[in-house]
Amino acid sequence: MAKRFGGRFSPGQPDMPQPKGEPVHPLESRVKWITISASPFLMTAFWQDPFGLVTNLAGFGIVAIGGLLTREGLQAEASYDARRVARRPAWPRKLFGGVATGLGLAVGAAEPSAFAGAGLIGVAGAVLHYLSFGGDPMRDKGMEGIDPFQQDRVARVVAEGEDYLAGMLDAIRRTGDRRLEARVQVFAETARELFRRVEEDPGDLTAARRYLGVYLMGARDATVKFADLYAHTKDASARDDYEKLLSDLEGNFAARTRSLIEGGRADFDIEMQVLRDRLAREGVRTREPASPALEDRRGHDLTDLIRDTVKAGRKRD
């Protein structure tokens, strides 16, 4: 049955923030050309002798696997680039995708009397793959000073939170209401901002763990019950209550993220003051100014200092 779409710009619909979605690599649209380049192997396979049939089908299949690995590698790289703190991918998917692409082209082009030429085609395909898509991230980013054990704990908690968000999205789709789906996606993006903050500073896990576990689990359970009710009754009051619940959750998650950021600023100020105290105890002092006009002027701002310096220069002239 046809369903009325209620989007952001539909008549009678209030404006609402749009979900950002998952990060997309700018080169991901090129991946389809890997499989397209091997399509002649598939189209001509059944007009070949048995050896040609097997090599053509095998070549097309290996190239298709290479395209799949390349797509996953680009998605992993996009997620890596979107974070300020990230570990390198567990294994280099783009590298293996390039190897599979070159191998598939070599197998597909192989003939009993021309294995050397097929090998050259495979090497050329692998090199072109690397030039087109680049390499995988091979080192961690922003991990200096972070305890790996704490980072593993954060990864487990964030994975659990992502499962709860996925459960919310799956449940709300049963209502068939696209506006509600978009509303849940907006809340999911707000929750992921808290995820990213905890990933950048694993020390915040204790302060945010209830939000990443208990509150998200409750939100998922409430979404499941609402979806079951609304799919059958279309109760407008239940819908309003659910949207108010999402607004409250979104506000609380955003407030928790802001408080963690402000706490990070307070920690920085404390560390800076401790360092200054240590330098003072060690007798570290700034150099004396070379000119009397640039002597130490505590309590003066930069404008006063520049004005006095200009006056001193005019007097010397």
Q: Mark out the alpha helices in 38-177 (DSSP H runs).
A: 39-44, 50-82, 93-109, 115-133, 148-172
Cβ pair 256, 211 in contact under 8 A: yes
Looking at residue 25, its pLDDT comes to 78
- Rounded CA separation 283/123 (Å): 64
pLDDT by residue (tens digit) across 78-136?
877 776 666 777 788 999 999 999 999 888 888 777 778 888 988 999 999 899 888 88
Looking at residue 70, its pLDDT comes to 92
Cβ pair 181, 169 in contact under 8 A: yes
Please provide the average confidence, as pLDDT, over all residues in the chain. Answer: 76
Looking at residue 96, its pLDDT comes to 92
Q: Say if residue 306's pLDDT is above 70.
A: no
Looking at residue 65, its pLDDT comes to 92
Cβ pair 39, 10 in contact under 8 A: no
Short-list 45, 32, 43, 34, CA closest to 105? 34
- What confidence tier does 69 reach under pLDDT thresholds 50, 70, 90? very high
Looking at residue 230, its pLDDT comes to 85
Looking at residue 3, its pLDDT comes to 41
Q: Say if residue 26's pLDDT is above 50.
A: yes
pTM of the complete model: 0.54
Q: Say if residue 7's pLDDT is above 50.
A: no
Looking at residue 35, its pLDDT comes to 85
pLDDT by residue (tens digit) across 251-289?
888 888 888 777 655 555 555 665 666 666 666 654 444
Q: Show the CA angle centred on residue 190, arms to residues 188 and 195, nearest 5°.
A: 85
Looking at residue 62, its pLDDT comes to 92
pLDDT by residue (tens digit) across 33-50?
888 888 888 888 888 888
